[in-house]
Amino acid sequence: MIDRRTTVGFLAAPFLLSGCGGDPSAARSGAAPNSSARTPTPARTPVPAMPVSAALRRIPGLGPAVMAAIPGLARQAVVVTGRGRDSPVSTAVLHERTEAGWEAGQTWPAHNALHGWSGHHMAGDLRSPLGVYTLSDAGGLLDDPGSRLPYEQSSGFVSPGTGFEGEPLAGSFDYVVAIDYNRERGRSPLDWTRPLGADRGGGIWIHVDHGGPTHGCISIGKAHMKALLRALDPDRHPVVVLGYADWLAR
């Protein structure tokens, strides 16, 4: 079963603990450090989960349980399909829902967490959380490339050091989209608020690929990140669907 208390909702944590981003100081101040002002956006009504009509074209690779977890109002779904439960290699596809059903876009190479996937993500487990989550906020070290989601440019989006395979991490957070796992929607991706508690991790983002596994995030190429930021439309209630192929097919 898909736990809807944690799907279609939460996400975020410290880089060295679980996810890829966050700063404990943000929890105390209520704002990201060294950040520019964000443009206020109207509060959005939570999207209810509704079954998808069998007459509509379904998303390839997704079984009935996962399709049913996609909110009925969602018109965009970024589907990240892992190679296996314990694999850090995956692909990402942005699907758009039309009158005829779901239409797939280009397939992008991607990475997920070093140890693969988890149905009960915990801080430091080096696994990406399984499930369906909303996408509400974006940001990055670089200027807004044309994001439709609220975007915060900040010097707080830094990624020092090297990855698990010795690759440099510089530039990984040039562009990010916060996945709404264990985070408050409508806030900076750098915000430290963790509704499920710090032990459940957080800071789970879609960000620029650095050529190796992540701590919990999803990463795709820089050009693909820019394209994704320009495509995601809050009026289309975008979600991300995360999992390895066998789990997604249930």
Higher pLDDT, 169 or 18: 169
Parent domain of 70: 24-29+58-248
What confidence category does residue 57 fall into, taking pLDDT thresholds of 50, 70 and 90?
A: confident
Query: Quick check: is 108 in a domain?
Result: yes
Partners of 71 in the beta sheet?
A: 49
Q: State yes or no: is 207 an active-site residue.
A: yes
Residue 12: is its pLDDT beyond 50? Answer: no
Q: State yes or no: is 121 an active-site residue.
A: no
What confidence category does residue 233 fall into, taking pLDDT thresholds of 50, 70 and 90?
A: very high
CA-nearest of 93, 206, 239, 216 to 139 is 206
The DSSP code sequence of 54-109 is TTSBPPTT--HHHHHHSBTT--EEEEEEESSTT--EEEEEEEEEETTEEEEEEEEE
SS3 state at 82: strand
pLDDT 10s digits, 172-206: 999 999 999 999 999 999 999 999 999 999 999 99
- Do the beta carbons of residue 110 and residue 218 sit within 8 Å? yes
- What's the confidence (pLDDT) of residue 214? 98
Query: Quick check: is 207 in a domain?
Result: yes
Residue of 20, 111, 210, 217 marked active site: 217
- Do the beta carbons of residue 175 and residue 140 sit within 8 Å? yes
pLDDT 10s digits, 131-162: 999 999 999 999 999 999 999 999 999 999 99
- What's the confidence (pLDDT) of residue 103? 97
Residue of 95, 111, 121, 207 marked active site: 207
Query: Quick check: is 167 in a domain?
Result: yes
Number of domains forming the structure of the chain: 1
SS3 state at 31: coil
Query: Quick check: is 137 in a domain?
Result: yes
Query: Quick check: is 15 in a domain?
Result: no
- Do the beta carbons of residue 228 and residue 240 sit within 8 Å? no
Gap between the Cα atoms of 53 and 42, Å rounded: 30
Query: Quick check: is 6 in a domain?
Result: no
Gap between the Cα atoms of 137 and 152, Å rounded: 8
Query: Quick check: is 144 in a domain?
Result: yes
CA-nearest of 194, 189, 192 to 207 is 189
How crowded is residue 50: how many other Cβ atoms within 10 Å of its Cβ?
12
Compute the average pLDDT of residues 76-104: 97
Query: Quick check: is 156 in a domain?
Result: yes
